[in-house]
Amino acid sequence: MEYNFDKVYDRMGSDSIKWEKQLKFGVPSGLTPFWIADTDFATLPQAVEAMRARLEHPIFGYTFTPEKVLEAVQGWYKRRHGVDLPVSAYAAAHGVVTSIWFSIRAFTQEGDGVLVSTPVYDPFFVVIEDQNRKKVDCPLVYEDGAYHIDWEQLDAKLATVKAMIFCNPHNPTGNVWTAQEVERVVQLCKKHDVWLFSDEIHGDVALYGNRCTSAAQFAAEYDKMVVYTAISKTFNMAGLESSCNIIPNPDYKAALVNCMHGAWLMGPNCMANPAIAACYTYGDEWVDQMNAYLTENAEYVIHTLAEKAPAIKVVKPQGTYLMWLDFNAFGMTSKQITDELVKEYGVAVGDGSGYGNAEGFIRFNIGCPRATLEKGVEALCRFAASKKER
């Protein structure tokens, strides 16, 4: 079946943060949004059907996550990521950030170092620092328009921390780390006896035919890890606030689940069960088509900017629907750029500076129909045309 990612939906009235909560840009709404990371695509029809079927039962009491739901996640991870772990390694949970917050709480102590690689998804800083752990940065290296890991520095810094948050694919650079890179990270964590918290929430959004390698593939080599996955990014279901943790070691799984239960967090809500099961059972073709569509969107941005606004440098994404754009040719801060894009061109983009180590960058969400994307790219081109390169 052919899915239609070109269809433009009016999201006003659906309580969409992206469209209806734009106050952080100084206006209540009205901007064309390319900021927060959800897409403007309708989700998998079978997932809507499954939730509709659940609605036929008019009682929404306390709900557990049945094994058949976890089997659907397990099946997906086996066929799409080559992860061969028993269903007992899977635990449904609230959102990924919540799960990382509790992983830090369960497995590290106050004062411990937790490593991140900036620029990176900024809630990682909050979950570390708000719990009085120490953020230790091993910045990615930006060279020739692409990002890579400084392995020597990573080795040295892992010797000083208790845990590492690894983002794969990496938000905001769009890196999909290769199997060799993921294994090397696992091996370095093993060498230094460091917890590996691998955030793979974007793990199914891989462009240009890439495949994301899950850290869970290497669980037999080292199992001091938690892998976080979800239907939220892949199937545009962030509003359900669900995720699934993969924890290969049963004792560690019990420790994390108990820690969450301590805060009375028992699992995702009752609508998440049918949605998760449907997505991971029927969603392969949908995801493949979305990834092909996103690849075309990325190509459109790359070629249009190269032709009409070459001063804006594009970090070519390998995964995610987030594009990382380097505006440093204009000599402006990220805030100045985002403010001007709001005021003069009516578009809302992500201010890159918040991700650390990234002044002068913006994050641009391409998870939208081409017609919407064209408006955003046109605004970027007009912005660039209005400037003189330094």
Ligand X SMILES: Cc1ncc(COP(=O)(O)O)c(C=O)c1O
| Interface residue list for ligand X (CB under 6 A) | 37, 95-98, 121, 167, 171, 199, 201, 230, 232, 238, 243
Q: Helices (DSSP H) in the chain: which residue ranges?
A: 17-20, 45-55, 67-81, 96-107, 123-129, 151-158, 179-192, 250-262, 272-282, 284-308, 334-345, 370-385
Closer to ligand X by Cβ: residue 203 or 304: 203
Closer to ligand X by Cβ: residue 123 or 346: 123
Nearest distance, CB of residue 92 and ligand X, angstroms: 12
Nearest distance, CB of residue 168 and ligand X, angstroms: 9
Nearest distance, CB of residue 381 and ligand X, angstroms: 26
| Spatial CB neighbours of 241, under 8 Å, sequence gap ≥ 6 | 94, 95, 232, 268, 269, 272
- CB of 96 closer than 8 Å to CB of 245: no
Question: Cα–chain-centroid distance for residue 161?
Answer: 24
Burial of 56 (0-12, 13-18, 19+ CB in 10 A): exposed
Closer to ligand X by Cβ: residue 125 or 330: 125
Nearest distance, CB of residue 123 and ligand X, angstroms: 7
How far, CA to CA in Å, does 137 sit from each of 165, 170, 187, 270, 377? 10, 15, 19, 38, 32
Closer to ligand X by Cβ: residue 167 or 271: 167
Nearest distance, CB of residue 341 and ligand X, angstroms: 20
Radius of gyration in angstroms for the set of CA atoms belonging to the chain, rounded to a whole number: 21
Closer to ligand X by Cβ: residue 172 or 360: 172
Nearest distance, CB of residue 281 and ligand X, angstroms: 21
Nearest distance, CB of residue 165 and ligand X, angstroms: 9
Closer to ligand X by Cβ: residue 100 or 384: 100
Closer to ligand X by Cβ: residue 72 or 309: 72
In one-letter notation, the amino acid at residue 283 is G
Burial of 4 (0-12, 13-18, 19+ CB in 10 A): exposed
Pairing verdict, β 32-34 and 141-143:
unpaired
- CB of 116 closer than 8 Å to CB of 136: yes
